[in-house]
Amino acid sequence: MTMNTKTLAGVALLLVGILAFIGGGDIGGFAAFLLSIGLLYYGAKKLRRSESSNQRSLGILLLIVGLIIISNWLPFLISFLFMVGCLILGWKLIKSGGEDRAR
Locate the domains of the chain by residue range.
27-102
At residue 73's C-alpha, the angle toward residues 66 and 58, to 5°, is: 5
Which position has the higher pLDDT, 24 or 35? Answer: 35
39-68: average pLDDT:
89
DSSP secondary structure, 28-41, as one string: HHHHHHHHHHHHHH
pTM of the model: 0.48
Q: What is the pLDDT of residue 80?
A: 78
Answer yes or no: is pLDDT of 102 > 70: no
